[in-house]
Amino acid sequence: MALCQQVTARFSPSPPARLGVAVSGGSDSTALLILLHKWQQDGGPALHAVTVDHGLRPEAAEEAAHVARLCDGLGVPHEILHWQGWTGRGNLPDAARQARYALLSQWAVSHDLQDVALGHTATDQAETFLMRLAREAGVDGLSAMRPKRAIDGVTFWRPLLDATRESLRAMLRARGVEWVDDPTNEDQTYERVRARQALTQLESLGLDATQFGQVTQNLADVRDTLYHYALDAARNIARIEAGDLILDHAGFLNLPAEIARRVMQESLKWVSGAAYGPRGRAMEGLLVAVAQGDDKTLHGCRILHKGQDLRITREYQAVADQRAAPGSVWDGRWRLSGPQDSGLVIAALGKKGARQCPDRQKTGLPAASLWASPAVWNGEKLVAAPLAGLENGWSAHLLRDETAYFDAFVSH
């Protein structure tokens, strides 16, 4: 079967021995489950299925139960994960997507699974292209989805990117396998639904998912080339100091616009820990400010001009409310170690704490960097601030190091 060959080829030449598969109950993920099960029967990876119930629709529980019954019939272990984190504010699809990946990553790690397959198709890719085209996206936004992506130590695979939704449904019909149709797929308040309907209209003009897929792949090749040159540029102009990223200002200004944009985006992501860098007008405004020599606050970071350098440090307000226990991770990138005592907590040093560090000026770090640095507190009493010269037996270890910064350029 051609679809089976497409799926197995994605995992060549070293397929995993055990593979997780996320199944919502819709046609795409159901087809992926059936194809992977066929592969398992032919000697492929042992399967473990999972369904995320976002708890946003009353039908979701029954849809998850439908998947459970299907997996039981196939002899595939299955679990249902529940998300209860929606606050009613912000972008619901984006929040649900981030929560889904977090839950799937945690589930995979807990089951010693290093690989999870997702049901994204060529049709999904075409819909995404149209959505981003409407937002005037650039090369990165219009590029093809990557066939695999590592998140929190788990590799997520997209083995159906060459298959259209209709080809998968035809396969399911031929096998007599039922799937669930999410009623929100007809709700035009969702951007993806409108894109799906537009794609149907474009097909009458000879523009189908396969052709859009080729276009996005062509753009992906351009994207990868740009990031290759951005990595070379970053190696020449970037260095790390006390958790701050330092760029040679003149060197940065001499970069071509598309290369400079990528260097800045990856720099802000590395400092902030955000999954995505700023885009659109926010990014344009930052690049203008940098060119004019103006300081800027963006994406949880401060961008400061210091002599010949452009210093990107954490914004104090972005970490002011963060707390962590000694030895655990603070702000996603620092771990402080030292004499243990009850009542200790890791929090930002702040302006008040910085005044209690007599050797802070000897560190050579600007005030903004010190304020956002991790410190050890006992109530209102400052115990230690390693980056500000007040060690008292404590040390600060940066978890996202130089290697992580440069590796990010080749992981898109």
How many whole angstroms from its chain centre is CA 386? 30
Residue 12 is assigned to a ligand binding site: no
Residue 29 is assigned to a ligand binding site: yes
From residue 382, give the alpha-carbon distance in Å to each of 328, 351, 362. Answer: 18, 12, 19
Residue 25 is assigned to a ligand binding site: yes
CA distance 361 to 159: 54
Residue 27 is assigned to a ligand binding site: yes
Q: What share of the chain is helix, strand, coil (3-state, %, to 5)?
A: 50, 20, 35
Burial (CB count within 10 angstroms: exposed 0-12, middle 13-18, buried 19+), residue 25: buried
Residue 187 is assigned to a ligand binding site: no
Contact 371/348 with Cβ under 8 angstroms?
A: yes
CA distance 120 to 147: 9
Sheet of 301-306, strands arranged across: 238-241, 244-248, 309-314, 301-306, 296-298
CA distance 119 to 103: 16
Contact 147/135 with Cβ under 8 angstroms?
A: no
User: What is residue 381's three-state secondary structure?
Assistant: strand
DSSP assignment of 143-199, as one string? SPPPSEEEETTEEEE-TBTTS-HHHHHHHHHHHT------GGGG-TTSHHHHHHHHH
* Residues 6+ positions from 89 with CB-CB distance below 8 Å: none
Residue 379 is assigned to a ligand binding site: no
Q: Which residues are annotated as a binding site for ATP?
A: 24-29
Q: Which residues are annotated as a binding site?
A: 24-29
